[in-house]
A and B are shown apart, each in its own frame.
Chain A
Amino acid sequence: MDRVIKLADQLFEDYKDYGVDRKEIVEKLRKLLVEFGVTENEAVRTIRNYIIREYGAPATIRRERITKIEEIKEPNKWVTVKVKVIQLWESSSPSVSQVGLIGDETGYIRFLVWTKAKKKPVEEGKCYIFRNVVVDDYGGILRLNVTKISEIEEIDEDIKVKSPEDIREEVEVVGALVAIQQNSGLIQRCSIEGCNRVIKMGKCPEHGKTKPKDDLRIKGVLDDGYRTYEVIINEEGVENLTGINLEKAKKIAEETLDRNAVLVELKKMLLGKYLRVVGTATPRYLIAKHAEFFRPDIRKELEKIKAILEEIQ
């Protein structure tokens, strides 16, 4: 019986705009499937033909075109997506009622619901079809905008989303290093094989007191005025930028009897500087493969701004 209802619902959904009677579909389906024992395909086919004949429905019904998130590549397109709400963030504006991250099996994208759209709030972990949402470009990041004419429908389906570890994107970012976090510089990692976690207050968060091994890295914030990137620069990157490698860092620590002296030195050299970082962006971190001081071609930049100034005059 469940099977009958389910198929009937699908058919009804497809043809409800043509005035079909749901009860009629259920009865006909039951007859075909239960009484006559025909196959599901045959039963559906029979009913479709019946509806086309009796209600004048078109032979091919318009199926919804669901766009996969990985296909969304440019702004100003209207799309319909089937997604899971991964995470909701705090809205930074009263005109935006909800903001967060949604995903399907191909990727993630940010979304926002405008307050004026007056939509029922979505919930984390639930799946929805977002119909007629428009893509915009917010400082280089694509977002889906839910507006008044969009539709959000909750669906009873669990969409498998790509795990965050699989979402990696090669990016190049130029920005100012506006902060360097405390757990940077000459740090210690857990030496237990496969762990490698950073040791805090002498303890590995997983294994407690273990034999530490030294490492050199920077965890900081790269900021281009539109968005921030939590950037991680490894020993090689640090050396490329500052000339300080692990060996030198250890030497500084020994000479000053202060491991923190390395961080102080790195901060002096790097804070407030424009960096060009090429690396892998995960939803949380930008892991630098290559980091260097950004050397702008001021002339070229001047040409660009001059063109903008002339255009808006």
Chain B
Amino acid sequence: MTVLLKREVARRVFAKELMSSTYTLRDESEKSPLYVLTPLGLKCSRVFIIGVLTDMEERGEDGNIYRIRVADHTGAFIGYIGKYQPEAYEAIEEIDLLTPVAITAKVRVFEGETRKFVTLRPEMISVADPESKDYWVIETAVQTLKRIEEMKKGESDTARLAMEIYNTDLEEYRRAVREAVEKVMESYEFYFEERMLEEEEEEFEIEEDEELSFEEEEIDLTELLKD
């Protein structure tokens, strides 16, 4: 009986967290994939990301490898797509720069001279709509905050190991999550204001929302003052 074949889950991780990872580990089992341990204690070997394709250059002797950069609200992922990933290879050739893209990728670790670097090996890449991109940010924010909480508790082995290795500044990550979410909020408030001009009769709602955005500005100011 084959019940629930094991497939590695595609984790939701911001670039900042994934690209800061330098530690790898395997399970005890023989077939274990190589996992990257992130500073927030996530063990991952596959990710699903949505970001903007900001760079793409041909590498390799015959230019048969694409090196891509995909930016999210916290940083950028680096990926390599070769001909041995035919699906992603064919797809990337039809995607323009500065397009939001969705990528499922295996996580690879490249050993540099001084430290290890995380790179992605995309299995699939496609054009993403802006709504999905925003949803990804929120989804990833929720999952990242959960990890931060786990780190605070320090109950799980991976959380403890991550703290030992990276001495993670949890506040720094919480701020990064907050900033990423705020970027999404901004774009929606902008959109909402535009629509408000068209629908002037809904006065009550207008008032409510003005108050909301005012409150947020206040929070921003105090944060600035603290720094």
Contact = CB atoms under 8 A, between A and B. Distances in A.
Nearest to B2: A284
A69 to B, nearest CB: 15
Interface stretch (A35-43, A202-210, A292-300): A292-300
A58 interface: no
A272 B47 CA distance: 12
B135 A225 contact: no
Interface in B92-146: 101-104, 123-126, 128, 131-132, 134-135, 138-143, 145
Interface stretch (B4-12, B14-22, B74-82): B4-12
A299 B28 CA distance: 44
Contacts of B125: 272
Interface residues on B, range: 35 or more
Given A306-B181, A309-B145, A227 B9 contact: yes
Contact of B27 (A87, A90, A309): A90
A44 interface: no
A94 B28 contact: yes
Contacts of B87: 267
B197 interface: no
B103 A272 contact: yes
Contacts of A20: none
A-side binding surface: helix, strand, loop or mixed? mixed
A176 B140 CA distance: 12
Nearest to B152: A312
Contacts, number: 132
Contacts of A305: 138, 141-142, 145, 181
B166 to A, nearest CB: 19
A170 B174 CA distance: 36
A271 interface: yes
Contact of A223 (B10, B50, B126): B10
Given A178-B48, A179-B124, A225-B12, A284 B28 contact: no
A272 B131 contact: no
A205 to B, nearest CB: 15
Nearest to B29: A90
Contact of B4 (A272, A284, A295, A312): A284
B102 A298 contact: no
A268 interface: yes
Nearest to B123: A179
A228 B9 contact: yes
Given A305-B138, A309-B177, A298 B188 contact: yes
Contact of A94 (B27, B140, B174, B178): B27
A61 interface: no
Contacts of B7: 221, 228, 230
Contacts of B1: 86-87, 164
A90 B30 CA distance: 10
Given A226-B9, A305-B141, A305-B142, A298 B104 contact: no
A309 B48 CA distance: 23
Contacts of B9: 223, 225-228
B3 A87 contact: yes
Contacts of A294: 135
Interface centre among B4, B7, B157, B178 (most CB of A within 10 A): B4
Nearest to B134: A298
A274 B132 contact: yes
Interface string A281-301: 001100000000011101101
Given A90-B6, A302-B185, A309-B178, A178 B104 contact: yes
Interface string A101-112: 100000000000
A60 interface: no
B128 A92 contact: no
B65 interface: no
Contacts of B165: none
A206 to B, nearest CB: 17
A274 B135 contact: yes
| 7 A-B pairs with the lowest CB-CB distances in the bound complex, closest first | A272-B102, A272-B126, A225-B12, A178-B104, A283-B3, A296-B135, A90-B29
Interface of B: 1-7, 9-12, 27-29, 31-32, 43, 48, 50, 87, 91, 101-104, 123-126, 128, 131-132, 134-135, 138-143, 145, 148-149, 156-158, 174, 177-178, 181, 184-185, 188
Given A91-B28, A92-B6, A92-B27, 20 more contacts: A89-B6, A90-B29, A90-B32, A91-B29, A93-B157, A178-B10, A178-B124, A271-B102, A271-B124, A272-B101, A272-B124, A273-B132, A284-B3, A296-B132, A298-B131, A298-B134, A304-B142, A306-B181, A308-B145, A309-B174
